[in-house]
Chain A
Amino acid sequence: MQQETPGSAVISLLVDNESGALARIVGLFSGRGYNIQSLTVAPVDEVGRQSRVNIVTTGTPADIRQVKAQVARLVPVSRVVDLTAEGPHVAREMAMVKVVSSGEPRTEALRIAQAFRANAVDTTATSFVFELTGSTDKLDSFIELMRPLGLVEVSRTGVAAICRGPQTIQSL
């Protein structure tokens, strides 16, 4: 097999919404030495029987195929899709970023937030909490820009992802 370069992949799963399902998935990753960069989980059908899990992981294409195959063995997992391999997809996350500053840095923070279309969801005389949604890269650069401007705390959701076009996780 040719040498393959490591990369990042977004894997989406549909799992039965039962006790221990997430522990099974996370345990498999840690037990087999796979990396989890980010993880999001929430019920996605109207009756709450199934949850969608989005995992960002890294590895060579062969590693990712092995991750997929291992996850697919789990009894509560009904669908496994590597969105990165399947084609175009949208991957977004949300961050809340707290900045404590005054004077010029405070003004600059607000200006940059506007440029990024971040909302100030909490404002006091000395602080802002900005809410920002977008790609991981966009969030990373926003946070970098806020760092010298009084950034004190970050809370991020991790990536939620879906494929583009009429295809679904069920049809892929």
Chain B
Amino acid sequence: MRPTPFTGEQDKMTPHTASSAPDAQKLQTLSGAEVLMRALDEQGVEVIFGYPGGAVLPIYDALFKQNRIRHILVRHEQAAVHAAEAYARSTGKVGVVLVTSGPGATNAVTGLLDALMDSIPLVCLSGQVPASLIGNDAFQEADTTGITRPVTKYNYLVRKPEDLAPAVHEAFTIARSGRPGPVLIDLPKNITVGNAPYIPASQTPMRVAKGTAEPDREAVKRAVAAMKAARRPLFYTGGGVINAGTKACENLRKLVKLTGFPITCTLMGFGAYPGNDKQYLGMLGMHGMYEANLATHGCDVLIALGSRFDDRVTGRVDAFSPDSFKIHADIDVSQINKIIPVDQPIVGDAGRIIEMMIEEWDATPAYAHQADLAAWWEQIEAWRALNCLRFTQDQAPDAVIKPQQAIQRIYELARETGRETYVSTEVGQHQMWAAQYFRFDEPNRWLTSGGLGTMGYGLPAAVGAQIAHPDALVLDIAGEASTLMNIQELGTIAQYRLPVKLFIINNHYMGMVRQWQELLHGSRYSESYSDALPDFVKLAESFHAKGLRATRMDELDDTIRAALEHDGPVVVDLCVTEGENCFPMIPSGAAHNEMILGPEQEERGAKVTREGMMLV
């Protein structure tokens, strides 16, 4: 195993740490790459996830000559972006990525779009061929700003040395402000090799970040008036509250307690409100909880905070929460009325809006519909009593493990450790089961690809989370198909000795594809069988990790415990039943009150319509 190059004493030159009076002459002699290091340092960057290549050699040389910023060498550029996303999501800082030109940049595209969809602040630095070669089809040349324009919040091609440091400063401001997102800076090699002036952030004119204005107090007042008049209210909160910070999450708890209203969260919003609190109804949407979806359908005031009425949440749009007065607080004005027409929009930071809602709640006459609210809760409890996640596991020692059982036990046994736990997922059935069975007390602990649904997200995300939280327990709940999309990151995990626990829920199928084929395509399992799988235990061992496997019920708990207790990376192959479906499910094109429930619940809802088949 190769040691990391930045732990030794290679501190030959630290241009950006000069604390003495700045010598103008000396500053002028910095190379572009050194200016870049210094700007990243000024922005508080501690970690970069990246992969070297020809166009970024000057930057890697500058990295080598300093010891303030740590570089994590991934095995594929897509993984660098997902790792930086998880680093950002789990710390609240901006994630930083460094890739080379051409294929380095194009490999990063999926990750950038993933970050854009899930509002994750990132700065991606990409190398570019020297300016004199741009447009010549040079080796490893790509029109990176052209390719990444629709997948970033903003991007730059640095053409002049004096634009370099300002671009970095502004990029960080844009990435983290308003609705956060990824920003790319394309750096031609002549810019990083040649001299460049250092311009500090304080001397950089920044464009005003959009969405940072104070929310309209009158709009909040009208929203709170509607909440006070509500008889069947529901909070519906999303990733915007997580992005608003831990203070916003604290205030959300306060507001929900103050009102006594029920709350449901989107996939991106887990942990903003404690997952085991009785006012929490769990996730809503396609694979959401029965009680959360029926409450959404039946509520009379819906309070959407930092959530964007995604199609996975709404189901059939014209039947979404048909009788409710809708309040929508979002930092991004383009989300208002985009999918669902709302009655009371509030534009601004979710945290600030929640604060103002608390003030207005306290300042106005007391809530007068306690009896109605109690009846509403009674109704919700009746829905909850259906226990929509219940499943029957054969408890015989040699019984095959159900995936729900595996995921539930991982959650329970991880919780028993009492350790600070971060959970990433890949995409598919296992992700939805993890979303259903895992409950989070804290924000920033749940790392998943929500908007883009990127298979292969989870393993690199676990890398990013473990780098950010070296002492925490980091789990990746994975499927065998998704895992193989970025399996090379076991190399990164080995190199940095990251004690990541990779749990592969192995059902030999792309499970969600299989489920849809069963429900919508006459059980024709076209290309969804995971044939020729590797032996994951041996694979783990070849990557210097511990490999474990459970195939029977009597092995499940012991295997999970052994994985959690092992002080190092573990790959667990949990062989589960092949044909399990993820329920509840709102079929495409159906409404929230037309859920399909599991065989346990015996109720059958709507059939999938032809129109619904087109909705993916």
Contact = CB atoms under 8 A, between A and B. Distances in A.
A115 to B, nearest CB: 46
Contacts of A62: 337, 341
Given A19-B157, A24-B149, A27-B150, A73 B338 contact: no
Interface in A3-46: 16, 19-20, 23-24, 27-28, 31
A27 B151 CA distance: 11
Interface stretch (A64-72, A98-106, A131-139, A143-151): A64-72
Contacts of B334: 66, 69-70, 72-73
B207 A65 contact: no
B81 to A, nearest CB: 20
Contacts of A16: 207
Contacts of A23: 146, 149
B174 A75 contact: yes
Nearest to B333: A69
Contacts, number: 41
A75 B153 contact: yes
B210 interface: yes
A27 B333 CA distance: 20
B332 interface: yes
A109 B292 CA distance: 71
Given A23-B146, A27-B149, A27-B150, A66 B157 contact: no
Interface string A84-124: 00000000000000000000000000000000000000000
Nearest to A24: B149
Interface string B321-362: 000000000001110111001000000000000000000000
A31 B150 contact: yes
| Size band of the interface chain B makes with A | 10 to 19
B60 interface: no
Contacts of A73: 210, 332-334
Interface in B137-168: 145-146, 149-150, 153-155, 157, 159
Nearest to B335: A69
Interface residues of A, number: 18
A66 B150 contact: no
A76 B154 CA distance: 9
Interface in B68-94: none
Nearest to B159: A19
Given A72-B210, A75-B153, A65 B337 contact: yes
Contacts of B207: 16, 75-76
Given A23-B146, A72-B210, A75-B174, A66 B153 contact: no
B140 to A, nearest CB: 21
Contacts of B332: 73
Nearest to A18: B156
Contacts of B338: 66, 69
Interface in B99-153: 145-146, 149-150, 153
A87 B573 CA distance: 66
Contacts of A24: 149
Nearest to B208: A78
Contacts of B336: 69
Contacts of B154: 75
A75 B154 CA distance: 7
A72 B341 contact: no
A1 interface: yes
Interface string B401-416: 0000000000000000
Contacts of B210: 72-73, 75
Nearest to B210: A73
Contacts of B150: 27-28, 31
Contact of A20 (B145, B333, B341): B145
A66 B174 contact: no
Contacts of B341: 1, 62
B320 to A, nearest CB: 13
Nearest to A71: B334
Interface in B406-461: none
Contacts of A27: 149-150
Interface string B200-216: 00000001001000000
A16 B150 CA distance: 18
A66 B149 contact: no
Nearest to B183: A75
Nearest to A75: B154
A33 to B, nearest CB: 13
Interface in B284-341: 332-334, 336-338, 341
A15 to B, nearest CB: 12
A1 B341 CA distance: 7
Most chain B C-beta atoms within 10 Å of own C-beta, residue among A1, A69, A75, A76:
A75
Nearest to A2: B341
B564 to A, nearest CB: 43
B157 to A, nearest CB: 7
A72 B333 contact: yes
B134 to A, nearest CB: 11
Nearest to B211: A73
A35 B529 CA distance: 42
A158 B334 CA distance: 27
Nearest to B146: A23
B53 to A, nearest CB: 24
18 contacts: A1-B341, A20-B146, A20-B149, A23-B146, A27-B150, A65-B337, A66-B334, A66-B337, A69-B333, A69-B334, A69-B336, A70-B334, A72-B333, A73-B210, A73-B332, A73-B333, A75-B154, A76-B207
Given A16-B207, A19-B157, A69-B334, 5 more contacts: A1-B337, A19-B159, A20-B145, A20-B157, A70-B334
Interface of A: 1, 16, 19-20, 23-24, 27-28, 31, 62, 65-66, 69-70, 72-73, 75-76
Q: Which 9 pairs of residues, A with B, have the shortest CB-CB distance?
A: A69-B334, A1-B341, A75-B154, A70-B334, A69-B333, A31-B150, A73-B334, A27-B149, A27-B150
